[in-house]
Homo-oligomer: A and B are copies of this chain.
Amino acid sequence: MTLTTRTLDVLAAFTPRHPRLRLADVAVASGLPLTTAHRIVNDLVRWGALERAPDGTLSVGLRLWELASLAPRGPELREAALPFLEDLYTATRENVQLAVREDLESVFVERLTGPDAVDVMTRVGARFPLPSTGVGRVLLAHAPSEVQEAALAGPLRRWTEHTDTDAGRLRALLAEVRRAGVAFSDQQVTEGAASVAAPVRRGRGEVVAAVSVVYSTARTTAAPLVPAVRAAALGISRALGARAAARP
């Protein structure tokens, strides 16, 4: 294992559940001997990737945050999308999500919710397997075919009694998502919650993200939500196209 990989493993010791750690915790979480962890942590602190509080606890440093803010598929996408997501939230008063694909998972890049919205557990940065969520189905439908096959290979995870785990049916569903330009997920992940999702393209080209509304099946159905979700997705796509055109 390279030292670069070890360095990254030290950083990976910090999680939403454990954002502050002592040196000994870092060593345990990263699987490294105390001395090795100590050496790496000191370099990270010196550079600003980690910072040490007076009580000795370590946390992620500002400098890493500044750097990470440059991620095009995170903050940049989020910033371009935010006005449209806010409009979509205002129009629907439900959970609004923006996600991108990374390998066989979706990563939530933005999420707007309110007091009336159905309770679904997605925090920004969270990851979720592709085939069951609305955004996941959009992202998978427009992924390279080898990604689709990999995602549908092997036993699929069942989240509720409604979860569809049949690969053949899911393949047909993905073809329909491509044709219709919209995906549905009806209580596939959470009892009582469903979603409508649409693809966000860079201009009119490749699908780079998906936007969705997650709603309570007790409160509404998919049909009235479709136009607003499509409009938001198209708006974000146009905004991204404008940004791409403005780049040298």
Contacts and interface: CB of A to CB of B under 8 A. Distances in A.
A16 interface: yes
Contact of A71 (B3, B64, B70, B74): B64
Given A4-B7, A44-B4, A72-B19, A67 B14 contact: yes
Interface in A114-157: 124-125
Interface in A21-76: 39-40, 43-44, 46-49, 51, 59-76
A90 interface: no
A144 to B, nearest CB: 11
A71 B67 contact: no
Nearest to A9: B47
Q: How many copies does the complex hold?
A: 2
A2 B44 CA distance: 11
Contacts of A196: none
A175 interface: no
Contacts of A46: 5
A197 interface: no
A160 interface: no
Interface size class of A (residues with CB under 8 A): 35 or more
Contact of A69 (B66, B102, B125): B125
A241 to B, nearest CB: 17
What does DSSP make chain A's interface, helix, strand, loop or mixed? helix
B65 A74 contact: yes
B71 A11 contact: no
Contacts of A61: 71, 73
17 contacts: A2-B39, A3-B4, A4-B4, A4-B44, A7-B7, A14-B67, A14-B70, A15-B70, A19-B72, A59-B71, A61-B73, A62-B109, A64-B64, A64-B68, A64-B71, A65-B69, A66-B107
Interface of A: 2-5, 7-8, 11-12, 14-16, 19-20, 39-40, 43-44, 46-49, 51, 59-76, 100, 102, 107, 109, 124-125
